[in-house]
Amino acid sequence: MLIVPLIRWLLVGTFTTINLFVGTVVDNFIKIKGELDGTALLTPEQKQWQSAMSAWSQKKELPRVPRPPDSICLRPIFDLVTGKPFDIFTTLVILSNIGIMALDYHRIEEDEAM
């Protein structure tokens, strides 16, 4: 008769103690992590890496505008390859290459019609 309340007390007491311990550890962890914008648990190398990545991600890259060459021989080639018709031609060549490669199938060499 005395054993059932004792087992209940041990279970409730054990769970309560574990819950208090885990709650304290988690609360302290959150408090330490919140200090210094979450960098309190980082090593100096990790802080340096984090600041470098932050600076890199905030850097705005300037758009690169190609400058035409001054040479009289290279200027027509530059105009050709930077024009819209050249882009369309290149796209059509790539698409036709994809289409030709799609026509290939397994054991095409053994097919008499091919």
Residues 6+ away with beta carbon under 8 Å from 69: 75, 78
Give pLDDT, residue 20: 92
Residue 39: DSSP 8-state = T
Give pLDDT, residue 1: 66
Judge whether residue 25 has pLDDT over 80. Answer: yes
Judge whether residue 30 has pLDDT over 70. Answer: yes
Q: How confident is the model at residue 86 (pLDDT cuts 50, 70, 90)?
A: very high
| 3-state class percentages of the chain: helix first, strand second, coil last, to nearest 5 | 70, 0, 30
Give pLDDT, residue 7: 85
Domain count, the chain: 2
Residue 7 structural domain: 1-38
Give pLDDT, residue 42: 79
65 belongs to a structural domain: no
Judge whether residue 102 has pLDDT over 70. Answer: yes
1 belongs to a structural domain: yes
Residues 6+ away with beta carbon under 8 Å from 42: 50
